[in-house]
Amino acid sequence: MEVLRAESISKIYCQNAVSLQALRSVSVTIQKGEFVAILGRSGSGKSTLLNILAGLDKPSEGKVYIDGTDIFHLSEEKRTLLRREKIGFVFQAYELLHALTVTENIRLPELTKDADYMRELLDTLEIRQYEKSYPDQLSGGEQQRVSIARALINHPPILFADEPTGNLDSKTERTVIDLLKNLAEKYGTSILMVTHNEDLVKDADRVIRLEDGEIVNG
């Protein structure tokens, strides 16, 4: 079953009369429970693509359908509601709120109070001991794991993750990848993960390679 479809997405950034084409007619389809890796060099358009597919940024051209809904045809308000219901997002720069503790950050988007799942995530991601700590007291890798827990707490049907293991050692990276693969299998979560680690290709059901804003295979 198709959960996401993007048709001919182009993105042009304009800054100080200079325009830069970050995406060139990119089309992608994601099935339920599929684990897709997006690979490409720095600057190839990976974050831009992820932000647009998740409805966080608008394309210059093209359409994105989530469960059949044209998301850029919706009002800002309705798009936010759709995102809250259907999407989890792990940001490259974590984007944690510094005045809130670890548990408060994770609970932030929580709609259902599922204490067991909270505990499971804290344990699996090995951040249980930091429950009452603040983000500034944590290392980059620990903050990254908090942002992963936050993205997962609502059981989103689609998870977008922008280099979610970029600051983790290889053992912790393995733990996170296994957690994501389990979720895809157990709950049918569709996962789109940006990485530049070629080793993770074998974990994905499918790989999309971006070069200079274009898909070169997949």
Ligand X SMILES: Nc1ncnc2c1ncn2[C@@H]1O[C@H](COP(=O)(O)OP(=O)(O)O)[C@@H](O)[C@H]1O
Under the rule (CB under 6 A), what is the footprint of ligand X?
13, 15, 20, 22, 40, 42-48
How far is it, in rounded angstroms, from Cα 51 to Cα 85? 16
Q: For ligand X, which is the closer residue by CB, 47 or 147?
A: 47
Q: Is 103 in the site for Mg ion (CB under 5 A)?
A: no
How far is it, in rounded angstroms, from Cα 191 to Cα 184? 7
Please report how close the Cβ of residue 84 comes to Mg ion at its closest, in angstroms. Answer: 23
Partner that binds at residue 37, options Mg ion, ligand X, none, CB closer than 5 to 8 Å by kind: none
Sign of CA dihedral 106, 111, 116, 117: negative
Q: Is 47 in the site for Mg ion (CB under 5 A)?
A: yes
How many helices (H) and strands (E) the chain has is answered by 6, 10
Residue recorded with tokens 């936050």: 150
Q: For ligand X, which is the closer residue by CB, 46 or 145?
A: 46
Binding mask 105-124 for Mg ion (x = CB under 5 A): --------------------
Partner that binds at residue 88, options ligand X, Mg ion, none, CB closer than 5 to 8 Å by kind: none
Partner that binds at residue 13, options ligand X, Mg ion, none, CB closer than 5 to 8 Å by kind: ligand X
Partner that binds at residue 140, options Mg ion, ligand X, none, CB closer than 5 to 8 Å by kind: none
How are the residues of the chain apportioned to helix, strand and coil, as percentages rounded to the nearest 5?
35, 30, 35
Backbone torsion region of residue 212, taken as left when φ is above 0, otherwise alpha when ψ lies between -120 and 50, otherwise beta: left
